[in-house]
Amino acid sequence: MLQNRSSYPPQQSAIAPSQASSSEKSIPTSLTPSAIRGSITTPRKVTIYDRNLNRRAPELSLASFAFLFSELVQYSQKNVKGIQEMETKLSDYGYHVGQRVLELTVIREIKNAKRETRVLGLLQFINTGIWKSVFGKPADALEKSKDQEDEYMIIDNDPIVNKYISVPKEMSQLNCAAFQAGIVEAVMDGCQFPARVTAHSVPTDLFPLKTVFLVKLDPVVVERERYMR
């Protein structure tokens, strides 16, 4: 019983104390030794190290995500001077997520895990691997800029974060997918491909929420890429 409790599922340890206390109520004087031991040792903490990284959580409800994200947007709207600053803030939040998502996505496929050493490989990994693990679907397209050698575009026709966000007219420049851009930026940075990633709305009739993530690579990366070719 004790071993059981030290294993991961927290529900178990949540149930156990109530069992112990109910037996306490019924027979207060004759507690079994194991019940006493149980009630003493239940506070044993389940640390983050006891959890399994590969536990496939069921998909989250979109409604609760949208609610949380709307709070995040409202929070970042406070104390900012302009839209630019607000997008920077959102992007920063995304950055923290991205740093973690990168390692987590890779370790979940540790069997064929590899480090990305080329720009194209990394962008493809973001396009499919990262997008799938975070948003449940691959991004819709990956394009290279025609006139700029150091610019790439990741296109999402219907970004999940924007699903329930309607931007007021006076803030038409704002795209809350800046959060998503932050995730991409963190992944690029983490793999040692420093880049600036920005989100731009490009509404079409078919996809009113279509967003283009513009990845502008740092000159260092371009130079290294040329050297490696």
Residues near other proteins, by CB under 8 A: 47-49, 51, 53, 99-100, 102-104, 106-107, 110, 113-117, 121, 190-192, 224, 228
Q: Which is nearer to other proteins, 194 or 203 (CB)?
A: 194
Which token pair is 180? 């998503």
Cβ atoms within 10 Å, residue 47: 7
How many CA atoms lie within 13 Å of 226's alpha carbon, on the beta-carbon side? 9
CB of 182 to other proteins, least distance (A): 14
Q: Which is nearer to other proteins, 49 or 219 (CB)?
A: 49
Rounded CA-CA distance 118/19 in Å is: 57
- In 3D, which of 44, 34, 36 has the Cα closest to residue 14? 44
Q: Which is nearer to other proteins, 81 or 229 (CB)?
A: 229
CB of 110 to other proteins, least distance (A): 6
Phi, psi for 143 (deg, rounded to 5): -130, 150
CB of 59 to other proteins, least distance (A): 19
CB of 184 to other proteins, least distance (A): 14
Q: Which residues contact 69 (CB under 8 A, 6 or more apart)?
A: 161, 165, 176, 179
Q: Which is nearer to other proteins, 15 or 113 (CB)?
A: 113
